[in-house]
Chains A and B, each alone.
Chain A
């Protein structure tokens, strides 16, 4: 379980996250939704260690990972799939995957790799191709696969739907929610595309201007008309 306490982040005079309390339970998908500039990406980057919070704490199963470096946080079990195609096009698909768990022992790596190939069979087929020859959907699967190579307890997905066809997005997200249940990892999903995100999520969190304005069961949030008009713009 990933948990934040009073987490605040500011860039100069701009406060991007205000005293945020958030819980991401294991075995389910938690969706964070909100308009542009609501602080979604900042939240993810802070959890992964790319941004240092001014105050507050991030706890993973009760252990603080606040202020640690990203390379240490991933080793402790929190893996971020950043926004955009976060694969490295100059490396082969297999190398991109391998990169995700280089510090682990070989047996563990192979086991994780097998899990990823089971989850995304297309990756196994294209193992030796360069990452820049893959389609957008394949690359997103590869990016998630790389994060899974670290055998995370908590997976952070930042806008995985960006630039992908809706059908592929749905496929990927459904795989992800299955993954959460089967392997009992905590998944935090940040999406601008609220409808899709809330469909696969158990819990929904609505973010506005760096603050949580509402959180609750995903279905409840997606049916709240007022909330939709005010913060989600549809």
Chain B
């Protein structure tokens, strides 16, 4: 039982990062009805940028902020690279283009920063917190990860529900034609969606890097987890992405705890396959929390 609780607790911060990546995938899906398979590659790239900043200035906060800015820019760049086939209704081409971007980003990162895994220093202590006579499987850093994730999710929720920009973005996502007829500049909203997705993914990358080390391919597996979470959540739902992102993290933590971390991808794959088989539109797909 203690084990079970420990494994669960240990899964939260990973789950939070998966949730952020899933959020990024959902943000892009909502704006352009496509899955950006380069999303996690973009996060990898911006995390390298953050690493460079951290190494040269020593500031984690600055690194995070620069990574977010880089994520915004990269999101916009990638949008312009891959959006044309979507507009020509070459959906196969759109998917392929995102993979092209992924390949180029990974190679580019390898070219600039090399292929060897690099460590990323945590801003706060990353060893288990001692409390009530035992060491818990949660570190101060895990708490930071959760706080940052929660802040970001709350911020995004407020943006989407309380601001005119958020309303425009939602309208553009749900019904582009009606949005245009209402005066919304839909194309700008789509770009904004991609940009915010890029920044969200960038935060996820910076948060996970100290735990996993970073190399050009080290986030591949994260893409699978995030995609799984996003799809199970319905691809359209921010709440779904967060819920199932954290859920995926917990499941992975349990699987790793009770068997072997190498089995995690298999479990994710089984979850994904079962979900697609039973409910191709995801749990939150058509109804429920879609509006948030």
A→B interface (CB under 8 Å): 48, 50, 69-71, 74-75, 79-80, 82, 86-92, 95, 98-103, 130, 146-147, 149-150
Contacts and interface: CB of A to CB of B under 8 A. Distances in A.
B290 A100 contact: no
B291 A90 contact: yes
Contacts of A100: 182-183
Given A99-B167, A99-B168, A88 B175 contact: yes
15 contacts: A50-B180, A70-B181, A71-B184, A71-B185, A71-B186, A79-B181, A80-B181, A86-B178, A86-B181, A91-B167, A95-B167, A99-B182, A102-B184, A130-B291, A149-B182
Nearest to A102: B164
B224 interface: no
A231 B249 CA distance: 65
Contacts of B90: none
B185 A88 contact: no
Interface residues of B, number: 19
Contacts of B185: 71
B210 to A, nearest CB: 38
Contact of B183 (A50, A101, A130): A101
B177 interface: yes
A99 B177 contact: no
B174 interface: yes
A7 to B, nearest CB: 19
B181 A91 contact: no
A71 B171 CA distance: 13
A90 B167 contact: no
B167 A50 contact: no
Nearest to A130: B291
Nearest to B180: A70
Nearest to B173: A90
Contacts of B290: 90
A90 B182 contact: no
Given A90-B290, A90-B291, A102 B183 contact: yes
Interface in B186-219: 186
B179 interface: yes
Contact of A102 (B174, B180, B181, B182): B182
A86 B175 CA distance: 9
Nearest to A103: B183
Contacts of A147: 181
Interface in B137-180: 164, 167-168, 170-171, 174-175, 177-180
A88 to B, nearest CB: 5
A202 B287 CA distance: 44
Contact of B180 (A71, A91, A92, A95): A71
Given A74-B181, A102-B167, A88 B186 contact: no
